[in-house]
Chains A and B, each alone.
Chain A
Amino acid sequence: GQNIDQPTEMTATEGAIVQINCTYQTSGFNGLFWYQQHAGEAPTFLSYNVLDGLEEKGRFSSFLSRSKGYSYLLLKELQMKDSASYLCAVRVSNDYKLSFGAGTTVTVRA
């Protein structure tokens, strides 16, 4: 089976930075995705890493270390609307069968 771990909850203040870690042990690796999901809504794509390093996209950045089985999502200049669940997902083969972590609920406080 696939094992993907991320913290259950995180709380941060508006304007601050939060880093959500994800570690994975999977039978294969063909990319790591981060999705944002507001309660009761569809997951929306945030970022994708397949090579080691940092991918930056506006206020969101994602980092990958394949040798360590580790990724993080960095959210900068937090806004209230960033309160959501953040899902780490690993694609283990060449299709789109994703294995998801349980998600990290981020609460942004004023």
Chain B
Amino acid sequence: DSGVTQTPKHLITATGQRVTLRCSPRSGDLSVYWYQQSLDQGLQFLIQYYNGEERAKGNILERFSAQQFPDLHSELNLSSLELGDSALYFCASSPGTGGLRTEAFFGQGTRLTVV
């Protein structure tokens, strides 16, 4: 158990809908990262938050947004869902913004299926 909690574990929804994925980082970790992993692609970095503020942005679609709350949990909002958004969404956390030898710990992921 990495200490990173993601809910829900599975989500099935229809095209056009909106969903929210939730992540609770390890106790004390200030950084939260969101990654998308689809069958035909590797892990793709979406976005990073550090202590409530957006720190880095990757290939995140405009239909997707995220935020980190004062208690440091994070939510990833996916809207106007398309079939191609079906994927595993991972959250990871680390103590700071990086630094040497700082590893990130991944949650178990949310498997999103858009039908």
- Mark A residues whose CB is within 8 Å of B: 30-31, 33, 40-45, 48, 50, 87, 89, 91, 93-103
Q: What number of A-B contacts does a CB cutoff of 8 Å give? A: 72
**B43 A31 Cβ-Cβ under 8 A:** no
8 residue pairs bridging A and B, Cβ less than 8 Å apart: A40-B109, A41-B108, A50-B101, A94-B98, A94-B99, A96-B102, A97-B33, A100-B35
We find that the number of chain B residues with CB closer than 8 angstroms to chain A is: 33
A94/B42 contact (C-beta < 8 A), A42-B108, A44-B2 known: no
A45 x B48 contact (CB < 8 A): no
Binding site for A on B (CB under 8 A): 2, 4, 31, 33, 35, 41-45, 48, 50, 55-56, 58, 88, 90, 92, 94, 97-109, 111
B43 touches A43 (CB 8 A): yes
Query: Which residues from chain A contact B106 at a C-beta distance below 8 Å?
Result: 42-44
Establish whether residues B41 and A97, one from each chain, have CB atoms under 8 Å apart when the complex forms.
Answer: no
Q: A99's closest neighbor in chain B, by CB?
A: B45
Identify A96's interface contact among B2, B88, B104, B108, CB under 8 A.
B104
Given contacts A45-B103, A97-B33, A97-B58, are A91 and B43 in contact (CB under 8 A)?
Answer: no
The CA-CA distance from A42 to B42 in the complex, in Å, is 13
> Which of B45, B94, B103, B109 meets A42, CB within 8 Å?
B109
Known contacts A97-B48, A102-B41; A48/B31 CB under 8 A: no
